[in-house]
Amino acid sequence: MTGSSEWKRWMRNSMARAKKTVEQKTLTLRGTPAEIAIQIRQALKDGGSAEHAAGVQWFFKEEIKSHGWYTAPLRRAIRGCRREILREHDFQFLTEVADQLFSGTVLEEKIAGVFLLEALDAQCGDREFAMFESWLDRISSWADHDGLVHYLISPMVAAKPARTKFVFRWARSPNRWHRRAACVSLIRGGRAQMLFPEIVRLSDSLLDDKDDMVQKGLGWLLRETAKFDAKRIVPYLMKIRERAPRLVLRTACETLPGPAKRRILAKSVH
């Protein structure tokens, strides 16, 4: 492909084909949760882009299986599937379909499981939270991790702060994705100016973590907290600047005013 106009035209055509393919498939979604998940998997395979799938791997250190979907058309298509499923079944049935999809090995299948339940956290309770926690053991990359934790788990932690007990358990895990989950799960709370003591406690416990995925997750949490609660987070960042990894500090400071950013980064020894 050459030229930006040709690239944009190809993207529009690819998205249109993908959306049409899955919307056609959603009209025939019938059967058990496992059977419906199989139908959605086939639609995702049929509607993907081999060219984009080849480019997806560039973003990941891990080996990724992808059908080559862009996020926006995938979200629209899966919300169409959700409407179709809920015409015939209840919310629990929908969660069972999502559970089947998140057990797959292809990136878009897992993201489809997340999108089936995205923005329905008001209907989710302890049963669903336990299911989402079990999905952490199925993570294969930061993409399916962040979809799960940011869109499903984090809103539920903000809605019920008692769930932070799970967050601190994840922070002690030898599994990098559990420790990253501990960070990302507090982001919605940070944006709502909630859970500040928990954010500080978690940050203190993970400052010495050497895993870059965990450091990026912690930096993300502190950056989002800074956007909405800079008055409290800046003194904390000043306190930890000599100990915190440079990656964490740089990420945490991204949205702060220049003078505050310079003060925080100036004396870091990392």
Written as one letter, the residue type at 267 is K
Q: Where on the phi/psi map is residue 68: left (φ > 0), alpha (ψ -120 to 50), or beta? A: left
Closest CA to 270 of 256, 239, 249: 249
What is residue 49's predicted lDDT score, i.e. its pLDDT?
81
What is residue 10's predicted lDDT score, i.e. its pLDDT?
38
Diameter over CA atoms, the chain: 61
- pLDDT per 10-residue tile (average), the chain, 270 residues: 43 49 58 97 90 69 83 95 96 98 95 98 97 97 95 98 98 98 98 98 98 97 97 97 96 95 76
Predicted TM-score of the model (pTM) = 0.87
What burial class does residue 260 get, using C-beta atoms within 10 Å of its C-beta: 0-12 exposed, 13-18 middle, 19+ buried? Answer: middle
What burial class does residue 22 get, using C-beta atoms within 10 Å of its C-beta: 0-12 exposed, 13-18 middle, 19+ buried? Answer: buried
Contact 217, 203 (CB under 8 A): no
What is residue 27's predicted lDDT score, i.e. its pLDDT?
47
